Amino acid sequence: MALLRQLRALEAGERALRESEERLRQSQKMEAMGTLAGGIAHDFNNILGRFSDTVSWHSSTLPRGARCKRYVNNVMHAAGRAKALVDRILGFSRGGVGERVPVNVQAVIEETLELAGTLRCQPRYGLRRGSRQATPQSSEMPRVCIRSR
């Protein structure tokens, strides 16, 4: 009887050890993903900086009232959102949870619809003002709106 108890305790200990090893492997995978994400985000941030600087320079050379100024401003706004996304990825790679901030869902939807209009595609379904349904990730809104056609 004592031998049976010892065998069961040994089996339970081995099972706990296997589970602990699996959690350690998962933790190491997440750490590697964070390192990879940080490297990619850093490179992307460098590219984005050059892109933003170039667009900003071109914007400053446009005459007042130029028709394309609106599109250049849209590009600058999109670059700002991309920078915010890169900052979130870098925060994740550093082990941070990231800052949660309120999102103006209506503005994101309107921006997405304007972008869809410049791409010459029209959403089939209208979106009502004051709708309360949203995804917590504002970076996902364009895909949600475009896929809803």
Q: What is the number of structural domains in the chain?
A: 2
In this structure, the answer to whether residues 118 and 59 fall within a common structural domain is: no
Q: Which of 76, 99, 122 is the last residue of a domain?
A: 99
Provide the residue range defining the domain that includes 133.
100-149
148 neighbors 123 (Cβ within 8 angstroms)? yes
pLDDT at 143: 56
In this structure, the answer to whether residues 70 and 121 fall within a common structural domain is: no
In this structure, the answer to whether residues 16 and 84 fall within a common structural domain is: yes
In this structure, the answer to whether residues 86 and 120 fall within a common structural domain is: no
Quote the CA–CA distance of 113 and 125 in Å, as a whole number. Answer: 11
In this structure, the answer to whether residues 33 and 50 fall within a common structural domain is: yes
Q: What are the CA-CA distances from residue 115 to residues 122, 135, 136, 144 (Å)? A: 10, 19, 21, 13
In this structure, the answer to whether residues 25 and 77 fall within a common structural domain is: yes
In a domain, 140, yes or no: yes
How many residues in the chain?
Answer: 149
Q: Which of 65, 83, 99 is the last residue of a domain?
A: 99
In this structure, the answer to whether residues 46 and 15 fall within a common structural domain is: yes
In a domain, 50, yes or no: yes
What residues contact 44, with CB distance under 8 A and at least 6 apart?
Answer: 86
For residue 90, the one-letter residue type is L
Nearest-CA neighbor of 56 among 32, 83, 75? 75
Output the CA torsion sign for 89, 53, 141, 106. positive
In a domain, 1, yes or no: no
Show the DSSP H helices in the chain as ranges: 2-61, 69-93, 105-118, 141-147
Task: Give the global pTM.
Answer: 0.52
pLDDT per residue as tens, the chain (149 positions): 888 888 899 999 999 999 999 999 998 998 888 888 888 888 988 998 898 899 888 888 888 888 888 888 888 888 888 888 888 888 777 766 556 667 777 877 777 777 666 555 444 445 455 554 444 455 555 555 555 44
pLDDT at 125: 47
In this structure, the answer to whether residues 76 and 129 fall within a common structural domain is: no
